[in-house]
């Protein structure tokens, strides 16, 4: 059985289940966003459940089938700002849909508030999907949310998603590792819990003081700190001409890639209109991108078109 046939068979099964339960996938896709709390299903046991689900890096078709199924059967969806409108259209019209995103400079919800919402809905007997961009376990505060659910004795599970770095690599053609240039890769958050703390710059640079085999460094949530990151790496011994790249809105049709070196990347960034989310990739792999043809991914009709 071909991959396409397998996927279509799975989707047909999902749609059959939906039609048997009185729901239509097509209706779900095109209904509005209104909901009525009185219509939300409450489980007979009185105890709900929570699924912490990765939505992937941006392209809605990178959603996993398990995440797809859970969205269709959710009573409540608490979603981040990185989740696309296409994915939100998969949520049943009768489900509670609530934005609980956080973004630098546009703070919305405290983490404790999000944890409380998950617990409160689950205690009402609801099936809760906590929908996060990328992969929940990669800089997604999944530990804090799991701890809150464990303390409240709420059953929960985690559904992985494609993290931004993996999606970026495929859609930009820049490999994360390459036997010639990079034997390992590091994912680093540029936004620490304590703003006064600093990442381990010396440790990052230790394997990257030459242009031989080295680490690939991928910085998440660092768009506003590109100049600082570059300066810190150079001050700890990394070569000023180390190649790097900024990838904005990875995997989306609006994806942009800016190539440069550590000593020039901040200036190049200032010449472009970059909205984020963006990744900073540092290492020789940025010099050898594969000639990927993104048109091949979009030439057939999308499930979301």
Question: Catalytic one among 13, 59, 75, 102?
Answer: 102
Rounded Cα gap, residues 83 and 68, in angstroms: 13
Arithmetic mean of pLDDT, 59-77: 97
Question: Catalytic one among 13, 26, 75, 80?
Answer: 80
Residue 121 tokens read as 């809905």
Arithmetic mean of pLDDT, 183-197: 84
Q: Kindly report which listed range (14-28, 263-277, 289-303) carries the lowest average pLDDT score.
A: 14-28
What is the sign of the dihedral through the CA atoms of 92, 96, 102 and 108? positive
More confident residue, 118 or 32: 118
What is the structure's pLDDT at 19?
Answer: 45
pLDDT level of residue 9 (50, 70, 90 thresholds) = low
pLDDT at 70 over 90: yes
Same fold, 31-162 and 165-287: no
- Percent of the chain past pLDDT 70, that is, above it, reads 78
Pick the CATH number of 165-287 from 3.20.20.100, 3.40.630.30, 1.10.1040.10, 3.30.950.10: 3.30.950.10
More confident residue, 191 or 10: 191
**DSSP result, 121-176:** HHHTT-EEEEEESB-TTTTS-HHHHHHHHHHTT--EEEE----HHHHHHHHH---S
Give catalytic status of residue 102 as yes or no: yes
What class is the 31-162 domain? alpha beta
**DSSP result, 56-94:** BSS-GGGS-HHHHHHHHT-SEEEE-TTS-HHHHTTS-TT
Contact 247, 257 (CB under 8 A): yes
Q: Provide φ and ψ at 208, rounded to 5°.
A: -135, 35
Question: Domain locations in the chain?
Answer: 31-162, 165-287
pLDDT at 104 over 70: no
Q: Kindly report which listed range (21-30, 66-75, 189-198) carries the lowest average pLDDT score.
A: 21-30
What is the structure's pLDDT at 28?
Answer: 34
pLDDT at 253 over 70: yes
């Amino acid at each position: 059985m071909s991959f396409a046939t397998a996927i279509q068979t799975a989707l047909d099964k999902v749609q059959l289940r939906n039609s048997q339960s009185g729901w239509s996938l097509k209706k779900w896709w095109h209904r509005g966003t209104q909901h009525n709390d009185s219509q939300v299903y409450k489980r007979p046991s009185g105890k709900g459940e929570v699924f912490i689900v990765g939505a992937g890096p941006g392209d809605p078709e990178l959603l996993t089938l398990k995440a797809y199924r859970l969205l269709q059967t959710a009573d409540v969806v608490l979603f981040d700002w990185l989740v696309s409108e296409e994915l939100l259209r998969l949520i049943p019209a009768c489900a509670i849909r609530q934005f609980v995103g956080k973004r630098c400079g546009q703070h919305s919800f405290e983490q404790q508030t999000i944890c409380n919402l998950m617990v409160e809905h689950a205690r009402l007997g609801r099936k809760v999907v906590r929908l996060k961009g990328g992969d929940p376990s990669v800089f997604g505060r999944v530990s804090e949310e799991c701890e809150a659910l464990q303390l409240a004795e709420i059953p929960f599970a985690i559904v992985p998603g494609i993290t931004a770095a993996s999606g970026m690599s495929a859609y930009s053609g820049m490999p994360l590792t390459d036997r010639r240039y990079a034997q390992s890769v590091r994912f680093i958050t540029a936004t620490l819990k304590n703003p006064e703390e600093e990442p381990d710059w010396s440790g990052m640079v230790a394997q990257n003081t030459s242009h031989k085999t080295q680490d690939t460094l991928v910085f998440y949530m660092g768009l506003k700190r590109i100049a600082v990151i570059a300066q810190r790496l150079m001050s700890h011994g990394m070569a000023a001409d180390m190649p790097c790249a900024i990838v904005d809105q990875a995997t989306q049709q609006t994806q942009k890639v800016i190539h440069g070196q550590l000593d020039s990347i901040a200036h190049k960034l200032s010449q472009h209109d970059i909205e984020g989310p963006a990744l900073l990739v540092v290492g020789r792999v940025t010099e050898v991108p594969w000639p990927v043809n993104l048109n091949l991914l979009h030439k057939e009709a999308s499930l979301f078109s």
